[in-house]
Amino acid sequence: MVSIRKELAEYGLIPRKRWGQHFLVDRNIINKVVRTAQIGEEDHVLEVGPGLGEMTLLLSRQARRVIAVEIDPRLVTILREKTASASNIEIIGEDILKLDFKQLLRPDSPPIKVVANLPYQISTPLLFRFIESREVFSTLTLMLQREVAERLVASPGGKAYGPLSVSVQVVSDLSIRFFIKPAAFYPPPKVESSAVQLMWRERPLVDLNEETWLHRVVRACFGYRRKTLINALKHSDLSLPPALEERLGSIGIDPRRRPESLTIQEFIRLAAVLKNDR
C-alpha cells in the first residue's frame, strides 16, 4: 500500500499553512480514531478535512453515509476521483465555518456523527458552531491540539480553565481518549494532539434560552481573569445591579475570588442574578 506521504508527493501536493494542513499519515492512528467513533452501519458521518481520503474510505465501509468537507480545491478534485466508486460518500468543497449544517440532514437521517482532524486555527470557532447546531449532531470525535483539548476538560482553578471549558461542559460530557505524537502527521506540528470525544448531555446545565447570556457573563469575567471577580465585572461591559457585592454574597460567591476559581454552577447562579437585575 502506498504511504500517504508518498501519495502526496505523487500528486505534487505541498501542505498549505494558510489552511493549517497537517495530514494524518499514521494508519494505526486513523484506525484508532475510527474505532473510537464507534461507527455503525446506520450512521451518517461528517468528516472535516479529509485530506487524501484515507479515513473517508474507511468510514464509508462502516457507515451508511459519509459527508467529507474539504476547503482545498486541489484535494476536492482528488477526493472525488478516489471515491467515485463509493456511492455513500459525498464530497463538499466548502469552508466548514460557512457551511449550513442543517442542510446536511436528510428526512430519514439520524443525528450525524462528526469525525475530524481539525486544523488548529479553526478548532475553537468550529467547536462553538457545533455547539450552536448540536441538534444536527450526536457525537463528536475530534483530533485537536493538546492545549485546546486540555482547555475543554479543565477544572476550575487552573490556567487552562476558561470560557471554552464552561461553554463545552455546560452542554456535553467529554473526555480525552488518547494523545497523538507529532510524528503521526505530515508535516509534523510543533505540539502534540489529542483525540477527544464529546457527547451531548441529555439535559444541559442551563436552558437553551439562557445559554447566550451565560456565555456573555463568562466571557466578561474571564476578560479580566487576573482581577478579583468584583473588579472584573466592574471593568466589563455588563450592566451591573446596585449593591453588587451583597448580591454576590447572597448566592454564596465571595466577590474577592478570581473568575477562574468559579465552578460552572457558580457561573450559572451569577448569570441568573445579573440577568434578573438587568
pLDDT at residue 275, rounded to an integer: 86
Question: pLDDT under 70 in the chain at which residues?
Answer: 1-2, 277-278
Same domain, 64 and 196: yes
Q: Give the domain range for residue 214.
A: 208-276
User: 88-124: per-residue pLDDT in tens?
Assistant: 999 999 999 999 999 999 988 899 999 999 988 899 9
Using a 10 angstrom Cβ sphere, with 0-12 exposed, 13-18 middle and 19 or more buried, the burial of residue 84 is: exposed
214 and 191 within one domain: no
For position 1, what pLDDT does the model report? 47
Residue-wise DSSP of 26-87? -HHHHHHHHHHHT--TT-EEEEE--TTSHHHHHHHTTSSEEEEE---HHHHHHHHHHTTT-T
Q: Are residues 212 and 137 in the same domain?
A: no
Q: Are residues 169 and 249 in the same domain?
A: no
Percent share of the chain, pLDDT over 90: 83
Q: Are residues 116 and 180 in the same domain?
A: yes
Distances (CA, A) of 211 to 128, 162, 236, 262, 267: 12, 16, 19, 17, 11
Whether residue 140 is found in the same domain as residue 63 = yes
pLDDT at 277: 59
Q: What pLDDT, in 10s, does the model give residues 55-98? A: 999 999 999 999 999 999 999 999 999 999 999 999 999 999 99
15 φψ region: left (φ > 0), alpha (ψ -120 to 50), beta (else) = beta
Total tally of structural domains belonging to the chain: 2
Domain boundary among the residues 139, 173, 200 is at: 200
Same domain, 213 and 153: no
CATH number, domain of 117, equals 3.40.50.150
Q: What is the reported pTM?
A: 0.91
Residues 48, 92 within the same domain: yes
Domain holding 233: CATH number?
1.10.8.100
Domain C-terminal end among 181, 200, 219: 200
Of 200, 231, 264, the residue that ends a domain is 200
